[in-house]
Amino acid sequence: MRNNIKKGLFVFIFIILLLPFAEQNFPFIKSGQLLGYFTNAPDVTFSSTKWLDGSYQKEKGDFYNDHTGFRPDLIRLNSQIDFSLFNKPSYGGTVVGKENCLYFDNYIYAYYGKDFMGYNYLFEKSLKLKAIQDTLTKMGKTFVLVYSPCKASYFREYIPEELKSKETEQTNYKTLLRLGDSLGINQIDLNAWFVSIKNKSKEALFTKQGIHWTNYGSFIGGDSL
């Protein structure tokens, strides 16, 4: 009886391991595609040069990895398990804030000025932008510097406590905005505008689980620009 159970488990595990290979070569179930931006590795043609320098093996391995049977379903399952059981987002750089609000960590660092490049550096860049604007103006063209919305500014109330810091005026965004104002650079601050209409907008401009602004937000941003 015990041997039969062991054999049954062995056969079951073997079938589970064999299924992705079978699906890859003889598709019998259509998986829902993964959403978002990504690029699957293309197949590679064998050559002795690529074989000897090792690039063929790597590129072929990447191709098989991206085209494994049931890959979209397995990625979704793994991501859901990580998030539901361990509160861990599977995409690198993503952090979970309060009420399961998702952020990219670099947005939060930028909001608190952790990536501040320094006044002198930003002043030099602003002078160059002003020179570009003046040149384009002489050519009959309009230059506009647009500050895109930042989710950390929009949903600052959901930033996780462990990543919170003292708010400062020394951020790239605030410094560039002040410099652009003083130099006369044409600029539109969509970030501040989105925050100001956050509770007035009829549709969501950001969602808690989305990293970027919504399609609706991009439409009204583009229309206003």
Q: Is 63 helix (H, G, I), strand (E, B) or coil?
A: helix
Q: Would you say residue 114 has pLDDT above 90?
A: yes
Q: Would you say residue 93 has pLDDT above 90?
A: no
Exposure b/e, 116-148, CB count within 10 A at least 16 = b:
beeeeebeeebeebbeebeeeeeeeeeeebebe
Tokens of 183: 């130099």
- pLDDT, one tens digit per residue, over 138-180 is 999 999 999 999 999 999 999 999 999 999 999 999 999 999 9
Total residues found in the chain within this entry: 225
